[in-house]
Structure 1
């Protein structure tokens, strides 16, 4: 976070001159004032006196950062958070980052400039060292996303374990060549799922096919394209773990239209138990997250921090998932566990 010394250096003036401008004192030319104000703007510098004044203000507003609202998981999460927040007299604003590091930091500026009282981050694309300074301006809570040794409350499911159990399920259905489809490689959560996938393969003595790992597979059309790639480049793939039900639905749709039998030719597992997973034929095996429980806990934890300015060690809340086995993965001739 920028300091008064940084402003002075960028403006090419003394710390005393900068201090005079900040405190609206005389004997500073307009030209120097403009240089200092421009430097403050470029560095995002908020004077300590201003920061103290801003911290004393309340907006009764919480910002929730998420990759994209069109993902039904995040839509349901936001809906639950908004309901819980309104019970406490708070409103929620939605900030879509589209997995952009710059956008993530731009939205965190809302906390620094006191346009919101606190922030919920459902994904994290910047390194924590870049995000941590914003804690000086207000509380931050991680929900869904998590990272070891991060000094903020974390509310999430064990994604590594969920991916591990989902992959074991595919293997127990007789799959021996598996593909992994990820929504992206930037987030810690995505890497956790990949670690669980790899662990299951290693335990069962199956190869990790690095070429069959596909990133930025997010929506239905991405799933359709992923299937075409599997069909053309990796025809021996017989099982797929995906990061969302939208992707899984795209695979099931395209595979069925190309004459592949689901799940006998290709078993598919999705994620998030979206309504779409039940509407497909066959219905998609998926991982269900306790969305409402996580959303309620997140808002409660954040508001308690706002009300009490708690300095205790941040807690970590880990919720259990459910693997809902359906027809997209359950083969008639699966091997015994």
Structure 2
């Protein structure tokens, strides 16, 4: 009965849009009418079509901008993306987040992308399996292009992932120490030379007992090779006890740094292969009197 009375009370009431106080969002055609120009002119200006924008005069452009502001017009980004068949997004792939190197890259990529009208998606994965899942999403249209720090992956794995992106029409810029460009751009950091120079900086400061924290699962051995090259060049004997792991994970870096600090004969300096290990080792040393500085893109510590 209550339902019957409720329904009868609605009789004669028109359920139109006006009853809900809804206001239709302004369209591009509304902007064109307000500015007294064609819809095409509005499209050229708002999409940044420089080739066709030359046909729209300075006064007409200002009228369009005024109309956009007056009507509070907002472009339908989704419709534009479907029309262009573009996501207008760049995907930044990193091994992990929360380390200085990755954070700086993310900041710079986001700034550059925004200046060119792109948004940025950041995804992290330190294994081939995780990267495989992310690349599948990109193949499906998640992003128009990729900037990937794949220095932790083998040449074979990088080639497989890059080939899939190329087939999907997704251009890529890849950070990797050894792979050759093949349908994608490659950024090399020449880390071996930087490691040698950083170690030599410590040598010139008087250090002869330098511990080296390495990445035990590193695909590229150029950093460790530079350490051996440095020892040979300076006539410093290789000591196996000064080679410690831990650069790939916080837990291992912390434990190995603590063990290093607890030795009776401590090294006078430590070189770490990763920012992750560097920051972690700094916490592990606790009250150990240290001087820390960045040299050639790597973190080094000196015992005072």
Q: How far has the Cα of 1:227 moved from its partner?
A: 2.2
Q: 1:246 to 1:133 in 2, by over 3 A?
A: closer
Q: How far has the Cα of 1:248 moved from its partner?
A: 3.4
Equivalent-residue separation in structure 2 for 1:183 and 1:174 (angstroms): 26
Counterpart pick for 1:111 among 128, 134, 138: 138
Q: 1:324 to 1:239 in 2, by over 3 A?
A: closer
Counterpart pick for 1:209 among 222, 225, 239: 239
5+ unaligned residues in a row in structure 1: which ranges?
Answer: 1-53, 263-281, 290-322, 332-337
Q: SS of 1:92's equivalent?
A: strand
Matched, 1:329 2:302: yes
Structure 1 stretches (4+) deviating beyond 6 angstroms?
Answer: none
Any idea what the Cα deviations from partners look like across 1:45-76, whole Å, max 9, x if unmatched? Answer: xxxxxxxxx9x831111111101111132112
Q: SS of 2:217's equivalent?
A: coil
Instruction: Indicate if the aligned counterparts of 1:62 and 1:119 stay in contact, CA closer than 8 A.
Output: yes
Which residue does 1:136 correspond to in 2? 167
Alignment of 1:174-323 (within 5 A): 174-183=206-215, 185-188=217-220, 191-217=221-247, 222-232=252-262, 235-245=265-275, 247-255=277-285, 257=287, 260-262=288-290, 282=291, 284-287=292-295, 289=297
Instruction: Indicate if the aligned counterparts of 1:198 and 1:208 stay in contact, CA closer than 8 A.
Output: yes
Which residue does 1:309 correspond to in 2? none
Instruction: Indicate if the aligned counterparts of 2:92 and 2:123 stay in contact, CA closer than 8 A.
Output: yes
Equivalent-residue separation in structure 2 for 1:211 and 1:104 (angstroms): 35
Q: Give the paired residue count.
A: 216
Q: SS of 2:302's equivalent?
A: coil
Which residue does 1:27 correspond to in 2? none
Counterpart pick for 1:63 among 91, 94, 103: 91
Larger Rg: 2
Q: 1:61 to 1:250 in 2, by over 3 A?
A: closer
Counterpart pick for 1:84 among 91, 112, 117: 112
The worse-fitting range, judged by mean Cα deviation, of 170-179 and 77-86 is 170-179
The worse-fitting range, judged by mean Cα deviation, of 80-89 and 128-137 is 128-137
Q: SS of 2:93's equivalent?
A: strand
State TM-score, norm by structure 2. Answer: 0.61
Any idea what the Cα deviations from partners look like across 1:280-300, whole Å, max 9, x if unmatched? Answer: xx4x221355xxxxxxxxxxx
Equivalent-residue separation in structure 2 for 1:104 and 1:210 (angstroms): 34
Equivalent-residue separation in structure 1 for 2:266 and 2:281 (angstroms): 15
Equivalent-residue separation in structure 1 for 2:122 and 2:140 (angstroms): 17
Q: How far has the Cα of 1:229 moved from its partner?
A: 2.0
Equivalent-residue separation in structure 1 for 2:264 and 2:212 (angstroms): 12
Instruction: Indicate if the aligned counterparts of 1:66 and 1:122 stay in contact, CA closer than 8 A.
Output: yes
Equivalent-residue separation in structure 1 for 2:236 and 2:276 (angstroms): 27
Q: 1:187 to 1:211 in 2, by over 3 A?
A: same
Q: 1:324 to 1:96 in 2, by over 3 A?
A: closer
The structure whose RCO (Cα within 8 Å, separation 6+) is larger is 1
Which residue does 1:265 correspond to in 2? none
Q: 1:206 to 1:82 in 2, by over 3 A?
A: same
